[in-house]
Structure 1
Amino acid sequence: MDIKMLWIAAALVLVLPGVCVGEGILPLGPLSGAEAGKVTFATTLQPPESPFLSISWSFNGANIITSTSTIISEPGYANRFSLDRATGTLELRKLVLEDSGEYAITITPDAGRPKKGTVTLKVYAPITGAVIRSPEEAILIEDKSSTNLSCEASGSISTRVWMKDNQPLHQSDRVTFSVGNKTMALQPVDSSNHGTLQCRVSNPFSTMTAERHLTVNYGPHNISITGPSAAAPGERVTLECTADSVPRANFSWMFNGNDTHVNNSMYIIERFEAESIGNYVCTATNMVTMRENSTVLNLRASCSAPSWSFFLLLINTLILRGLK
């Protein structure tokens, strides 16, 4: 049979009397409802001139409501439904999770073929008790340690979304998710994982976000010295060393290769003299990661015209250094 004949046969099926074809008198669905809430199965029918002979609703193949001259329902639906006998529309109240399933309607009109329709309902329980769980607390060190986190909650869960500082996390070489995003593996952790992690659990009717602070020990990174690169004679000079580090880094200073015994982030020269000219090295040390990093600032005399005494002192200092 060629394509033309197939089209003719299909057309005959649609128009031949007595052949049952689906009439979409219910929405495509699926419909959704909240536990203890309500849902309306609205048909597409307009009230007919003559009342329907019968309206029958079934759930998962079993009849639950029948309307003829009277309305009869199964015990589990008493006092929690309304039926519009003019259109067949059904409102179901006080929903329970067991109401999830397939609903079908069959309407017998005063004249003509029966009208039918089916639609699926999903009832959602509210989300409660969302929490992020992790294995026993351990010291996490960037590029060395790994961890697995699980997002748990009660209720009907449709989606789980992992976030860091309210921004969604995406799968990468270091970040992987299980099916359904219930667990997230960080292998290994890095500095970007340090901070507040969130897991947002939701369904069409409720949402809950769990939070957990994750401490990742890292650094020191991005060490730098802030302060002037040149100073005038007699000027007070303050140098400050900073680094990105968890926990906070320890600092030490060297001047022209010699230990200054200054062990904090600030190095203060109360009065700049010729002897103050040279290289100031700050070293940052993380006592957990056991890593250190250093940077240097070269401090010189200001280009402004110095006094003769300062000029002579500078020459004398340079000569003495040369003799050593």
Structure 2
Amino acid sequence: MLGRVACLALVLSGWCAGEDVLPPGPLSGAVAGAVTFSTTLKPPQSLFLSVRWSFKEDNIITSTSTNITDPKYANRISLDRATGALELRNLVLADTGEYTVTIIPDAGLPKQGKTTLNVYALITEATITSSPAAILIEDKSSANLSCEALGSISTIEWMKDKRPLRPSGRVTFSVDNKTVFLQPVHSSHHGTYQCRVSNPVSTVTVARDLTVNFGPHNISIIGPSAAAPGQRVALECTADSVPPANFSWMFNGNDMRVNNSVYTIERFEVERMGNYTCTARNMVTMLENSTVLNLKASCSAPQWSYLLLLISAIIRS
């Protein structure tokens, strides 16, 4: 009852604020695009006596039996007299702000609603730059990745290999999130970085590969630790390394002059038992690492065959 009395008093001064005349805001629009300020009102049996839209208290349009339109909006607006909705076209950044609608119905109390429009420039030309341009070596170099774009930037998100990039002991971000600092770089920093720049009306994602030279790490020899007489044996050396490592082999301390990742024994003999050493070298980091595999005769070989091999070795010695 008190609300109606208060509203009646406001009628005498020209208007009364109605509830939920406009949906909750704010609204978002793109530069050069359009937006519609819809109302929650159903078309009445007879048209509203008056519909007035204003921007920051300046008149956009006042519609009664005639329309009074600000010249700045002459070719940019359309008014729906049945619901009071307003379409605003050819948006510019200066259209950002508060909009007010005041509606006087043929019967009942005047209504008013307010909402806010935010206009954004579409995001374009996103890039990731890396500095310095020098070759990056694990634990010796640092790198900065910066994300730049044209348009109205609301948020910047970083990902690595399509997973969110989080701060850590070696990874930090600038206050505006535009730059990632990798200090110093680690082998785990090698990969593809994505920067997603967005605002409520547009999103652009850009990617850049970052090469971190590291290793060789985790060197190992894949192959049997025992072989039967006459068996063909292949030993493969692996290592985590960027760029890929160079390999060399030694047998019982002797250089075998094999410079690839696989060492092959076409026919295993007893004199081929011993220590096989693989050394991996990274020609950028200038680091190397080695591992040893001890190759023995297989216990599953027939005993007589093993004895023949042993006797043959003794005779040749």
User: Shift of the alpha carbon at 1:315?
Assistant: 5.6
Separation in 2, partners of 1:181, 1:270: 58
Q: Aligned letter for 1:116? A: Q
Separation in 2, partners of 1:175, 1:275: 53
User: Shift of the alpha carbon at 1:42?
Assistant: 0.9
In structure 1, the partner of 2:9 is: 18
In structure 2, the partner of 1:67 is: 63
Separation in 2, partners of 1:315, 1:73: 112
Q: 1:141 to 1:15 in 2, by over 3 A?
A: farther
8 Å Cα contact 1:199/1:211 also seen in 2: yes
Identity of paired residues, percent? Answer: 69
In structure 1, the partner of 2:188 is: 192
In structure 2, the partner of 1:6 is: none
Aligned counterpart in structure 1 of residue 217 of structure 2, from 208, 217, 221 = 221
Within-5 A mapping of 1:1-324: 16=6, 17-18=8-9, 23-303=19-299, 304-305=301-302, 306-307=304-305, 308-314=307-313
Q: Deviations over 1:160-211 (max 9, x none)?
A: 2211222221122222222342111112211121122111222233222212
Separation in 1, partners of 2:18, 2:111: 8
8 Å Cα contact 2:18/2:110 also seen in 1: no
Q: Does 253-262 or 165-174 show the bigger shift?
A: 253-262
Q: Does 273-282 or 18-27 show the bigger shift?
A: 18-27
Q: What secondary structure does 1:134 align onto?
A: strand
Separation in 2, partners of 1:72, 1:40: 19
Q: Deviations over 1:95-130 (max 9, x none)?
A: 222222211111223455431111111122222101
Could you tell me the TM-score, scaled by structure 1's length?
0.87
Unaligned segments of structure 1, at least 5 residues: 1-10
Separation in 2, partners of 1:122, 1:252: 65
Q: Aligned letter for 1:153? A: A
Matched pairs, number: 308
8 Å Cα contact 1:14/1:21 also seen in 2: no
User: Shift of the alpha carbon at 1:156?
Assistant: 2.0
Separation in 1, partners of 2:86, 2:175: 37
Q: Aligned letter for 2:49? A: L
Separation in 1, partners of 2:124, 2:136: 30
Unaligned segments of structure 2, at least 5 residues: 11-15
Q: Deviations over 1:132-160 (max 9, x none)?
A: 01224112111222111111111122222
User: Shift of the alpha carbon at 1:60?
Assistant: 1.9
Q: What secondary structure does 1:211 align onto?
A: strand
Q: Aligned letter for 1:253? A: W
Q: 1:161 to 1:316 in 2, by over 3 A?
A: farther
User: Shift of the alpha carbon at 1:314?
Assistant: 4.9
In structure 2, the partner of 1:7 is: none
Q: What secondary structure does 1:234 align onto?
A: coil
Separation in 2, partners of 1:271, 1:183: 58
Separation in 2, partners of 1:193, 1:288: 17
CA RMSD between the two structures: 2.2
Q: Aligned letter for 1:311? A: L
